[in-house]
């Protein structure tokens, strides 16, 4: 079942490109992710007129401009709650969140567990380059401690977080990981997220040639390993075991986890029907009952 209730359309990846020129540094992994998004949207048959792309602040958060869709460029770290509101208001549409590790897990980190536990019916594609690129190279939540960045000239004082374990722990119902250097794999994972009913999180490693000299294309190629074919994607324990290896010299690439449970918009609709349907669900009338 698709995120949203649209009818599939027959389109090519190029049909999703907007007229806005793509502006990233040469060699940036985000180009590969963007191409994967084009291919995923075409593969899922998403109608651009039924698509909302929402981002926060950062290099990756420019992505909605490059897509033929409705879009909103929100405040730093606030793409998640804005996307949640958009999806609840228009549950018939497909909602994508596009952002980076700093936007998603630093200032926006407080929102991530709630999108997962509530099972918001949207797809979150996180461009993980282990650095703040737009603001010229500050240490991020996924940076390695040995990284000497603008804000950590002698190395970092803390261990990097593990996005996959984070999402699995808080209840995301679709968790996957890819690498920008493997756009066909990324496209399949994003397409799966779009077709998933519930909160889909896809973490994608993306090299930053301008500010992260440690995590290069070559190092990522050596680190990522395809998930074994015999892996049971419904087994949370097995998924967490795979996720534990991520960032420790090797990282799983593929679908780690996928299960089905009621989504936030489905639960909200059940509540509305429980109080008599939308005709009786007048928020002003409800509030008036409690006015002094």
Confidence check: pLDDT of 4 > 60 = no
Looking at the fold, whether 112 and 215 belong to one and the same domain comes out as yes
Q: Which two tokens stand for residue 245?
A: 């290896």
Looking at the fold, whether 191 and 266 belong to one and the same domain comes out as no
- Considering only 99-113, 134-148, 206-220, 268-282, which range has the smallest mean pLDDT? 268-282
pTM: 0.92
The answer to whether 74 and 56 are in contact (CB under 8 A) is yes
Looking at the fold, whether 266 and 246 belong to one and the same domain comes out as no
Q: Which domain range does residue 272 map to?
A: 262-292
Looking at the fold, whether 162 and 221 belong to one and the same domain comes out as yes
What is the average pLDDT value for the chain, to the nearest integer? 92
Looking at the fold, whether 149 and 275 belong to one and the same domain comes out as no
- Structurally, how many domains does the chain consist of? 2
What's the average model confidence in pLDDT over 195-203? 98
Is 25 among the domain residues?
yes
Is 274 among the domain residues?
yes
What's the average model confidence in pLDDT over 199-211? 96
Distances (CA, A) of 49 to 40, 45, 94, 197, 204: 16, 12, 10, 20, 26
Output the domain CATH number for residue 181: 3.40.50.970
| Cα torsion 96, 101, 107, 109: sign | positive
Distances (CA, A) of 111 to 3, 26, 61, 159: 20, 32, 17, 21
Looking at the fold, whether 272 and 151 belong to one and the same domain comes out as no
How does strand 251-258 pair with strand 174-179? Answer: antiparallel
Residue 278: which pLDDT band, with cuts at 50, 70 and 90?
low
pLDDT tens per residue across span 106-142: 999 999 999 999 999 999 999 999 998 888 888 899 9
What's the average model confidence in pLDDT over 60-82? 96
Is 163 among the domain residues?
yes
Distances (CA, A) of 219 to 6, 52, 128, 146: 40, 34, 14, 15
Is 128 among the domain residues?
yes
Looking at the fold, whether 81 and 160 belong to one and the same domain comes out as yes
CB count in 10 Å sphere of residue 17: 15
Is 111 among the domain residues?
yes
Looking at the fold, whether 148 and 168 belong to one and the same domain comes out as yes
Is 113 among the domain residues?
yes
Looking at the fold, whether 62 and 158 belong to one and the same domain comes out as yes
Is 275 among the domain residues?
yes
d(CA 243, CA 253): 10
Is 4 among the domain residues?
no
Looking at the fold, whether 112 and 34 belong to one and the same domain comes out as yes
pLDDT tens per residue across span 218-273: 999 999 999 999 999 999 999 999 998 775 678 999 999 999 999 999 999 888 88
Distances (CA, A) of 34 to 41, 65, 191: 11, 11, 13
Looking at the fold, whether 162 and 189 belong to one and the same domain comes out as yes
Query: Residue 6 has what pLDDT?
Result: 61
Looking at the fold, whether 227 and 292 belong to one and the same domain comes out as no
Query: Residue 111 has what pLDDT?
Result: 95
Length of the chain: 292
């Amino acid at each position: 079942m698709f995120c949203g209730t649209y009818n599939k359309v027959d389109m090519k990846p190029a049909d999703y490109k907007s007229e806005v020129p793509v502006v990233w540094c040469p060699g940036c992994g985000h180009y590969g992710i963007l191409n994967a998004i084009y291919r995923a949207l075409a593969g899922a048959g998403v109608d651009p007129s039924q698509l909302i792309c929402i981002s926060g602040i950062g290099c990756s958060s420019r992505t909605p401009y490059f897509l033929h869709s409705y879009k909103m460029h929100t405040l730093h770290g606030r793409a998640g709650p804005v996307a949640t509101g958009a999806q609840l208001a228009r549950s018939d549409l497909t909602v994508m969140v596009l952002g980076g590790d700093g936007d998603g897990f630093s200032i926006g980190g407080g929102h991530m567990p709630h999108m997962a536990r509530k099972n918001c019916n949207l797809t979150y594609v996180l461009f993980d380059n282990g650095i703040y690129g737009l603001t010229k190279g500050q240490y991020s939540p996924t940076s390695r401690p040995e990284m000497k960045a603008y804000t950590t000239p002698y190395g970092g004082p803390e261990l990097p977080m593990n996005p996959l374990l984070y999402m699995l722990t808080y209840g995301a119902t679709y968790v996957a990981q890819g690498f920008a250097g493997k756009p066909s794999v990324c496209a399949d994972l994003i397409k799966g997220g779009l077709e998933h009913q519930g909160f889909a999180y896809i973490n994608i490693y993306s090299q930053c040639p301008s500010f992260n000299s440690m995590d290069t294309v070559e190092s990522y190629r050596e680190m990522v390993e395809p998930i074994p074919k015999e892996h049971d994607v419904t087994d949370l324990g097995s998924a967490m075991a795979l996720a534990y290896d991520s960032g420790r010299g090797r990282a799983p690439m593929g679908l780690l986890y996928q299960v089905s449970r009621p989504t936030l918009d489905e639960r909200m609709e059940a509540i509305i029907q429980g109080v008599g349907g939308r005709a009786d669900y007048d928020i002003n009338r409800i509030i008036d009952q409690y006015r002094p």
